[in-house]
Amino acid sequence: MINIIIALVVGGIIGWLASMVMNRDASMGMVANVIVGCLGSILGRFLLGGLLGGGHLRGDAFDPMTLLTAFLGAVILLAIVNLVRRGRVR
């Protein structure tokens, strides 16, 4: 149970940082940051896991490679959302 809480908190922080990098911070709320962080972690693990390594937010939430892959996955996810919604990455 505590692993899920830690994953949600870390996912929220990662989503918030990714939204700041992609200039979406003003348009996103706390729940959206958690969703982007957690889905970005899954996407980053899928796309970059073999290259960078890292684990899952539920198990290895404080591993630097896990945090890096989750952050990059969240940035990629926000870039895809920006591309679909606005027609540009921003």
From the CB of residue 41, how many other CB atoms can be counted at a distance below 10 Å? 30
pLDDT of residue 13: 92
C-alpha distances out from residue 38 to 66, 75, 88, Å: 12, 12, 23
- Asked if 70 and 57 touch (Cβ cutoff 8 Å), the reply is yes
CA 26/CA 62 separation, integer angstroms: 27
Model pLDDT for residues 18-34, shown as the tens digit of each residue: 999 988 776 778 898 89
Model pLDDT for residues 4-14, shown as the tens digit of each residue: 888 889 889 99
From the CB of residue 29, how many other CB atoms can be counted at a distance below 10 Å? 9
> Minimal CA–CA distance to 10: which of 51, 68, 50?
68
